[in-house]
Amino acid sequence: MKYNYYGIFICSVIILTACSTRQQPVDMTGKKDIPHSESKYEVGTVKEQPLSSYVKLPGQLKPFEEVNIYAKVNGFVESVKVDRGTIVHKNQVLLTLEAPEIESQVQAAMSKFTHAQENAAASKDKYRRLFEAAKEAGAVAPLDLDNALSRMKADEAVVMSEKSNVEAINNIKNYLTVTAPFDGVIIQRNISAGTLVGPGSKANDLPLLVLQHLQKLRLEVFIPEAYVDKVDLKNPVRFTYNAIPGKENTAMISRSANALSSLRSEAIEIDISNKDQALKAGMYAEVKIPLLSSTSSLLVPNHAIVRSTEKQYIIQVVDGKAVYREIKVGLTSNNYTEVFGDLKEGDEIIFHASDEIREGTLIK
């Protein structure tokens, strides 16, 4: 028993001695704090070289021609000859209107014209008789002959005026028959027989019919301002319809707007044949616009661009300090992005930049 008490006493002394000794914990990770001024950043330069031979942009198919058809005069729809999806030809009757007041105007105009013709015929006959009588000296006073001539010319002028009035009323009557201005397809119908219609004067007035020429389409693409002077017009455009994946088509650019829109882009159009009408207006396509092979751009690595809700920028190294350079982004490849801004080839920038690097930070 003595030996057991002695062993317990020795163990207690050892434990108390270990607890009384103050030791710092050992860092097993091997990491050490590095002062901010001694931190290192990966620094590279801006390159200038061609990024791609084309730029991929979205496009949309639009009808080659489209018109909203309104009534030219007030009237009731008498009959509608077409419906949505009807294929029509130029000058084909689409609908007819009825307007009794126009018929009354035509009859009144014809009556005035007939009356004017009768007056003109009487004036002409009177002048002819006076002219024959005036061949005998003293039979007719010169003043009476002049008055008869003036009356005849005035009545002839009235005839011409009434004739023009009749033609004008007949033209208005022709507006009661609405015809197709070109070959196409009716894609929308908003009226039925008996509807009261009139000239479309308000922006929210629905057209009677909507006609589109779909045998030929326009593929419309908007080219960003940065590329409008780089488009190669001598090479064909390649495009794929989203609804028909896997089939690539080629065509030449048909026309361009030669002006920038409010979105700072230029519209170009590519004519697309659609005789079988397999394509539909409104379809989207991915279009590869060819660029001039000699075109070079300023390129930076994708990870060098810092994006925030307000702007996009890269961090340039100027005199050993970080300086923010706001940029606009262009084409992007797997590794590099085309940028536009206050930069030039050879400028030093920070790779793997982030918004944690504040402007003015010393770059070691």
Lowest-pLDDT choice from 105-119, 189-203, 348-362: 189-203
Q: Is the pLDDT of residue 35 over 50?
A: no
In angstroms, the Cα distances linking 231 to 75, 268, 292, 341 are: 52, 11, 6, 21
Q: Which of 153, 164, 156 minimizes the C-alpha distance to 118?
A: 156
pLDDT of residue 310: 83
What does the alpha-carbon distance between residue 315 and residue 10 come to, in Å, rounded to a whole number?
A: 67
| Percent of the chain topping pLDDT 90 | 36
What does the alpha-carbon distance between residue 301 and residue 351 come to, in Å, rounded to a whole number?
A: 7
Q: Is the pLDDT of residue 203 over 60?
A: no
Q: Are strands 312-318 and 321-332 parallel, antiparallel or unpaired?
A: antiparallel
Q: In what order do the strands lie in the sheet with 93-98?
A: 177-179, 93-98, 75-80, 196-197
Q: Is the pLDDT of residue 27 over 70?
A: no
Q: Is the pLDDT of residue 168 over 80?
A: yes
Q: Is the pLDDT of residue 213 over 90?
A: yes
pLDDT of residue 252: 94
* Both structure tokens of 191: 């009226």
pLDDT of residue 25: 40
The interaxial angle of helices 142-174 and 100-133, nearest 10 deg, is 160
pLDDT of residue 34: 35
Segment 326-353 shows an average pLDDT of 85
* Confidence grade of residue 265 (pLDDT, cut at 50, 70, 90): very high
Name 297's Cβ contacts closer than 8 Å, sequence gap at least 6.
Answer: 48, 49, 50, 51, 330, 331, 338, 339
Tell whether pTM > 0.85.
no
Place of tokens 């030669």: 258
Lowest-pLDDT choice from 54-68, 90-104, 142-156, 198-212: 198-212
SS3 111: helix
pLDDT of residue 7: 52
CB atoms within 10 A of CB 177: 12
What does the alpha-carbon distance between residue 169 and residue 106 come to, in Å, rounded to a whole number?
A: 6
Q: Is the pLDDT of residue 359 over 90?
A: no
Q: Average pLDDT, whole number, for the chain?
A: 83
Instruction: Quick: pLDDT tens for 134-163.
Output: 778 777 788 888 888 899 899 899 999 999
* Both structure tokens of 51: 């990024």
What does the alpha-carbon distance between residue 251 and residue 217 come to, in Å, rounded to a whole number?
A: 13
